Structure formats: C-alpha cells, structure tokens
C-alpha cells in the first residue's frame, strides 16, 4: 500500500511537537538539538519549505537549546544517559545506583550487591518518568530528581556522571580545580560557546561541591563569607562512594574505594 505524501501542515505539526518536548530539552539539551537538526534535514528533503522558513525553524531549535542549557539547574530532570546515586533524604550513603535507566540496589558496604544486577528500570514516556521495580514489584513516579519508594522512603537522585560521545563525563575532587571549572564555565556561557560550556559545566556539576547557600558565590560577598571561607562553594556529599557504579569502568574517575 502506497504511503500518502506528508503535507506542510502535518510537517509543521510534527515539528512543533518536537520543540515542545520539554523533558528532553531540559534533561539532555544536546540530544534535543541533535534530534531537531535531524528532523530539519528530513523536512528539507520534502521540498515543502523555502530556505527562509528552514532558517527560522533552525533558529527556533537553537534558541530552545540555549535556553535549556541555562534552565537545567532550575529544572532538574532525569536523563537516560546519566548515572545516579540513589540517596534517602537525611542520609549520606547511596542505597542504589541508576545507570542508563537500570536500577540496581547496593549492599550495606556500599559496593555492588551480590544480588542480580537488575532490580528495576526507569521508564520515560511522553515526558513522564516512572521507576518500575521488579523486586519488590511496584511503580512510582519520579518528579524532577526525587521519588518515594514503595515503602514510603523519600529519595533523591544525585547525578554523578553522564555519557557523552561514548565517554563518561565525571567531576573533580580538588577545590582549586572545581573553582577553575566554575569560572571557565561562566566565561564560556557569557561567550555563548555552548560546546565548551557544557563540557566544563558538567564536570563541575558532577563534582562533590555545591554553591555556598550563604553568599551564593557572589564575587562581592564571598570574600568575607563565613559559610565557605571565601571559596564560594562548600563540600557536597553525593552519596558515598562519589562515583556511581564501579569506578574502574568510568574513564577519568580517580575516586578511592570506600573503606
């Protein structure tokens, strides 16, 4: 049976739906832009749009991508390409890890459990995120980077690494290196050098530090800040051990094993 040719209105409807994929735009801006560019190349082959229309559509995609980079910190979203530590509220130790959507419990020592590696999976459907557990059997929604287990334990997902171009992006442990990453990332953002910005910002993001809640890393206030001692940031426990999964499998990870 011959497929009917797509109309211009149908192509525009599909394009609009792609731009409205807020979960992908905020969780993985690079994937959002890559998919948008691919759809534009496919739409160009249809010969339904003039060059100016295609240019404006490409500008729309890049504007959404740039905004996504800036908004990520305010609207944390689960990303399938990332590794996470699952940390109960008020505790400092992970109880499980999530890597590429696979949920695995850890044992009391913090090392990988001797139980089967697969205990559940994170499913993303039309922007809605759910954790589907196999043992015990339950399904709960993930809102941002938070969820409540089947037995009522509130947990947070702490992102510790992300796969990009076939390599794991990880953080740094040295405070001076972290300060340099933050400053260089800000410089790249102001210059709209998005590729460099994302690389630097993600390495800072996966480091065991967080912005000082007292001075908020303000250049004017941090020098005399008692909260961070002038650094602009404070240590942030990512759920020991710092790197998710088996650190030996993550390129660039220098975290020492937990005693």
- In order of 177, 215, 222, 231, the CA distances from 225 in angstroms are 20, 6, 5, 8
* Total-model pTM: 0.62
The answer to whether the beta carbons of residues 33 and 25 sit under 8 Å apart is: no
Place of tokens 């009522």: 152
Rounded CA-CA distance 208/205 in Å is 8
Q: Along the 259 residues of the chain, how does pLDDT read in single tens digits?
A: 445 568 888 889 889 988 888 888 888 888 889 899 999 998 888 898 999 999 999 999 999 988 887 776 667 788 888 899 998 988 878 888 998 899 988 764 444 444 445 688 999 887 789 999 887 788 999 998 899 988 888 999 988 888 877 888 788 889 999 999 999 988 988 888 877 887 788 788 888 888 898 998 888 888 889 888 888 999 876 665 433 333 323 333 333 222 2
What 3-state DSSP class applies to 127?
A: coil
């Amino acid at each position: 049976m011959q497929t009917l040719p797509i109309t211009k209105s149908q192509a525009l409807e599909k394009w609009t739906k792609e731009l409205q994929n807020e979960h992908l735009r905020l969780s993985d801006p690079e994937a959002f832009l890559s998919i948008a560019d691919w759809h534009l190349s496919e739409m160009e082959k249809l010969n339904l749009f003039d060059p100016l229309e295609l240019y404006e559509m490409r500008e729309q995609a890049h504007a959404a991508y740039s905004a996504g980079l800036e908004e990520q910190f305010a609207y944390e979203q689960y990303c399938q390409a990332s590794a996470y530590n699952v940390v109960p509220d008020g505790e400092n130790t992970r109880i499980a890890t999530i890597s590429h959507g696979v949920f695995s419990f850890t044992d009391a020592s913090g090392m990988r459990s001797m139980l089967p590696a697969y205990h559940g999976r994170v499913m993303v459907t039309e922007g809605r995120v759910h954790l589907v557990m196999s043992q015990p059997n339950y399904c709960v929604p993930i809102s941002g980077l938070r969820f409540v287990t089947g037995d009522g334990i509130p947990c947070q997902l702490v992102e510790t690494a992300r796969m990009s171009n076939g390599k794991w992006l990880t953080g740094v442990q040295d405070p001076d290196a972290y300060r340099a990453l933050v400053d260089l990332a800000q410089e790249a953002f102001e210059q709209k050098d998005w590729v460099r910005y994302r690389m630097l910002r993600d390495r800072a993001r996966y480091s065991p530090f967080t912005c000082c809640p007292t001075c908020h890393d303000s250049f004017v206030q941090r020098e005399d800040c008692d909260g961070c001692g002038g650094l602009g940031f404070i240590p942030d426990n990512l759920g020991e051990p710092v790197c998710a999964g088996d650190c030996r499998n993550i390129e660039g990870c220098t975290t020492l094993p937990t005693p």
